[in-house]
Amino acid sequence: MATYVLIHGAAADAWYWRPLAAGLRRRGHRVVAPDLPCEDDTAGLAEYADAVVAAVAAGGEPQGPLVVVAHSFGGFTGPLVCERLPVDLLVMLQAQVPAPAETPGAWWENTGYWPARRAADLDRGVTEDAEEDERALFLHDTPAAAADELLADHQRRQSAAPFGTPWPLKAWPRVPTRFLLAAGDRFFPPAFLRRHVEERLGFRPDEMPGDHLPMLGHPEELAERLEAYRAEL
């Protein structure tokens, strides 16, 4: 048995983890998937980490290895949780990798995201002045019913507060770290993420199918990938 802590990204709640959480629970694990205070204009990165730590504590002592999975903007929060809890494994899933003192708002320019994104869009035949809807950009590999429910009921206003907060760690936490990217993501293009991970974490990421939310389109494969990482501990 293990305890999996699932940290969602920006402008959303934890609902999108449900298919993955169900698969992990079927395998006998405890799952903690808190909602972060993304609508709170007083909440910065420290408060996001507070919310995760409080949710873990509310469930009692973690059972077995403690595995943190951080998705997208959750990449700024996951390592902070590793500094406060006895985490055995951190899995970054389609995640932003922060640098010391970097604000989330500066990450986009610092990493060369926008030129990489424009190049990837052009490769797909999307012109620079074109605007893609959320389904095409984020959810093109997600089942239609799940995409409908996400867009209708589980989008939240994202406060700008954490985007001006410098990432407080001086170095990456001393916790075994894996990076798993979804090879079909159009929002964080795979070529960009491969370079980003190699530059900041020093290793090549693993890859699986999916768009920006592989936990909705490929929950069973994602569960198996996480279980394989856990088995390596």
pLDDT surpasses 90 at 60: no
pLDDT digits (tens, 9 = 90+) for 193-226: 999 999 999 999 999 999 999 999 999 999 999 9
Q: Which amino acid is at 194?
A: R
**Secondary structure element (H or E) that encloses residue 208, with its range:** strand 206-208
Q: Give the pLDDT confidence of 15-42 residue by residue, as tens digits.
A: 999 999 999 999 999 999 999 999 999 9
- Give residue for tokens 């420290």: 46
Residue 26 CA to chain centroid, in angstroms? 22
From the number of C-beta atoms within 10 Å of its C-beta (0-12, 13-18, 19+), residue 132 rates as middle
Question: Cβ contacts of residue 5 below 8 Å, gap of 6+?
Answer: 32, 33, 52, 55, 56, 66, 67, 68, 69, 81
What CA–CA distance (Å, rounded) separates 148 from 144? 6
Which domains occur in the chain, in start order?
3-231 (3.40.50.1820)
Sorting pLDDT into bands at 50, 70 and 90, what band is 61?
confident
List, in sequence order, every residue forming a beta bridge with 182; answer none if it has no partner: 208
Q: In which band, very low, low, confident or very high, does the pLDDT at 130 lie, cut at 50, 70 and 90?
A: confident
Exposure b/e, 58-75, CB count within 10 A at least 16 = b: eeeebeebbbbbbbbbbb
3-state secondary structure at position 99: coil
DSSP label of 186: S
Give the per-residue pLDDT at 128: 79
Helix (H, G, I), strand (E, B) or coil at 32: strand
Model-level pTM?
0.97
